Amino acid sequence: MSSSRPAPDQLLVDIAKYAGQSGVGTAAARQLAHYCLFDALGCALRALDVPDCTRLLGPWVPGANIRDGARVPGTRFELDPVKAAFDIGCMIRWLDFNDSWATGGHPSDTIGGILAVADYVARRRPSATPPTMGDVLTAIIKAYEIFGVISEGNTFDRPGVGLDSVILVKIAATPVVTHLLGGTQDQIVNALSNAFADGQSLNLYRKVPNAGTRKSWAAGDAASRAVRLALLAKQGEMGYPTALSAETWGFYAVLCREGPLVVPRPFTSHVVENIQFKISYPTQRHAQTAAECAVELHPLVADRLDQIDRITLTTHELAKKMISVSGPLHTVAARDHCLEYVVAVGLLHGDITRRSYGDKCAADPRIDALRAKMIVEVDDEYTQGYYDPTRRSNANAVRVTFRDGSATPKIELKYAIGDPKRREEGLPLVVKKIENPIVQRLPHRAQAILQLFHDPARFAAMRVNDFMDLLVV
């Protein structure tokens, strides 16, 4: 075995070059990145109503706030950027209401690391040229692109690999935040190689019977790890040039044995331009259209619940495999990832909120009674549409049949309201989704924040630390 130091794996170099570019993104990409950032902040502020989330926030050691640290929106915390990335990432992801990508995962999970580092750098460079919110938008475009392109070519959470999709958060955030810290291309490569060399999270905490709250803080954990690796690289810590390809011990040999990662297209700004917002309901992405269908049927079944004979759910192959669950659902994490539970709540209440997954709502015996009447069928056309890269549909249909033989119409939706194919219809609703939590959580500063949201040019020119100051209480 040769001890000669090899050149870095080409994928590490390609990602590092892209992360270090300037002028990335079309006008459309910048507009969508603007929406994505504010949508993520809205999700973060909503999560402050959830004790399971807020108990995780704050310094690693109680009382250990630092001066000129990164701010955590909606709180008074001033933290080191590693913990701030954890906190912001937790808040964004907690309710499963942040944007998602067509082939899996949530690119906005990277925003926790980006905001924490940008704010920290801005406060440490008061007399130099601090990063602006325009720089943050550029970083978001890059992180979304790395995340989405790698996701398109590789499924980490499939059986046989079993890794959680938050590996994409670490892979995407690490090079971008290293660049924000002023890292060179070599330092970005070093940090990214360490991201691949890390032990990766298992997918078991998203699957019954182990589904639990870690699925809500795993993204914050990955974002914070990305920041830590970036800081190490900036301090001169070495990298591992063949972290991916090394025989026996590399990432491919140990964790991805089918061969090198597939990169299906160049890194541009395609992902953010085609991002899928979660607008109407906080639920797993494969259930989004099913939720819309169920809510539409609510007026037709609400007064006839005791007359229902069966409920037919038609879906695609992956949804059946991932979120069709029978038996008891003991946690919030299990309920919001159960297709049948989501449909039952929609039929019963005509709405689905974060409270729909709590123990109080779940104790309603009508939910499990409806679940017991559900038949989940896979439609081959739905499956083909889901996997077809030119369509990327996410089709579901719901029909309720009563004991007298009558039935509701079959309500079918191929694209959720937040899909790019429904962008004209969806964006005005994204605005409302953004505005509500800002007004509720930051009433004294809501007007100033929303004026910036509606004035993208002024927002992009604003210093990161000045904007983050508006978000503290």
In a domain, 193, yes or no: yes
Flag whether pLDDT at 252 surpasses 90. Answer: yes
In angstroms, the CA 57 to CA 353 distance is 23
Q: For residues 32 and 67, state if they share a domain.
A: yes
In a domain, 453, yes or no: no
User: What band does 284 get if pLDDT is binned at 50, 70 and 90?
Assistant: very high
C-alpha atoms less than 13 angstroms from C-alpha of 162 in its C-beta half-sphere: 9
In angstroms, the CA 473 to CA 456 distance is 24
Flag whether pLDDT at 67 surpasses 90. Answer: no
In a domain, 45, yes or no: yes
Q: For residues 269 and 289, state if they share a domain.
A: no
In a domain, 108, yes or no: yes
What mean pLDDT is predicted for residues 350-368? Answer: 96
Predicted confidence at residue 34, as pLDDT, reads 98
Predicted confidence at residue 145, as pLDDT, reads 98
What mean pLDDT is predicted for residues 386-399? Answer: 95
Residues 38-53: tens digit of each pLDDT: 999 999 999 999 999 9
Place of tokens 């130099």: 128
Per-residue CA distances from 2 to 5, 7, 205, 251 (Å): 9, 13, 40, 19
Mean pLDDT for all residues in the chain: 95
User: What band does 23 get if pLDDT is binned at 50, 70 and 90?
Assistant: confident
> How, if at all, do strands 78-79 and 70-71 pair?
antiparallel
In a domain, 379, yes or no: yes
What mean pLDDT is predicted for residues 378-386? Answer: 97
In angstroms, the CA 106 to CA 98 distance is 7
Flag whether pLDDT at 65 surpasses 80. Answer: no
In angstroms, the CA 353 to CA 95 distance is 9
Determine the Cα angle at 256 with ends 251 and 258, to 5°.
130
In a domain, 451, yes or no: no
Residues 159-190: tens digit of each pLDDT: 878 899 999 999 999 999 999 999 999 999 99
In angstroms, the CA 350 to CA 304 distance is 14
Residues 223-235: tens digit of each pLDDT: 999 999 999 999 9
- Percentage of the chain with pLDDT > 70? 99
Which residue(s) pair with 163 in the sheet? 202
Of the residues 273, 295, 329, which one is the last residue of a structural domain?
273
Residues 105-164: tens digit of each pLDDT: 999 999 999 999 999 999 987 667 889 999 999 999 999 999 999 999 998 888 878 899
Predicted confidence at residue 158, as pLDDT, reads 81
- Tokens found for residue 66: 């630092």
Q: For residues 98 and 183, state if they share a domain.
A: yes
Predicted confidence at residue 1, as pLDDT, reads 53
DSSP, residue by residue, 240-278: -TTTTT-TTTSHHHHH-TT-SPP--S--SSHHHHT-B--
In angstroms, the CA 221 to CA 357 distance is 23
Q: Which domain holds residue 83?
A: 10-273
Please say whether the beta carbons of 109 and 40 come within 8 A: no
Distance of CA 423 to the CA centre of its chain: 19
Query: Residue 270's closest CA among 356, 367, 357, 142?
Result: 142
Flag whether pLDDT at 263 surpasses 70. Answer: yes
Q: If phi over 0 gives left and psi between -120 and 50 gives alpha, with beta otherwise, what is residue 262?
A: beta
Q: For residues 223 and 331, state if they share a domain.
A: no
Q: How many domains does the chain have?
A: 2
| Of 1-5, 325-329, 376-380, 452-456, the least confident | 1-5
What mean pLDDT is predicted for residues 195-213? Answer: 91
Q: Please state the φ and ψ torsions of residue 133, each to the nearest 5 degrees.
A: -65, -25
| CATH number, position 368 | 3.30.1330.120
Residues 6+ apart with CB under 8 A from 131: 118, 121, 122, 180, 463, 464
Per-residue CA distances from 246 to 13, 167, 198 (Å): 16, 19, 14
| CATH number, position 105 | 1.10.4100.10
User: What band does 5 get if pLDDT is binned at 50, 70 and 90?
Assistant: confident
Flag whether pLDDT at 14 surpasses 80. Answer: yes
Predicted confidence at residue 32, as pLDDT, reads 98
User: What band does 287 get if pLDDT is binned at 50, 70 and 90?
Assistant: very high
Q: For residues 380 and 404, state if they share a domain.
A: yes
Give the three-state DSSP class for 355.
helix
Of the residues 239, 273, 307, which one is the last residue of a structural domain?
273
Residues 6+ apart with CB under 8 A from 75: 48, 57, 58, 87, 472, 473
Q: For residues 176 and 319, state if they share a domain.
A: no
Place of tokens 């590399």: 250
In a domain, 251, yes or no: yes
- pTM for the full model? 0.94
Predicted confidence at residue 320, as pLDDT, reads 96
User: What band does 62 get if pLDDT is binned at 50, 70 and 90?
Assistant: confident
What mean pLDDT is predicted for residues 442-462? Answer: 97
Flag whether pLDDT at 363 surpasses 90. Answer: yes
C-alpha atoms less than 13 angstroms from C-alpha of 37 in its C-beta half-sphere: 30
Distance of CA 205 to the CA centre of its chain: 16
Predicted confidence at residue 125, as pLDDT, reads 75
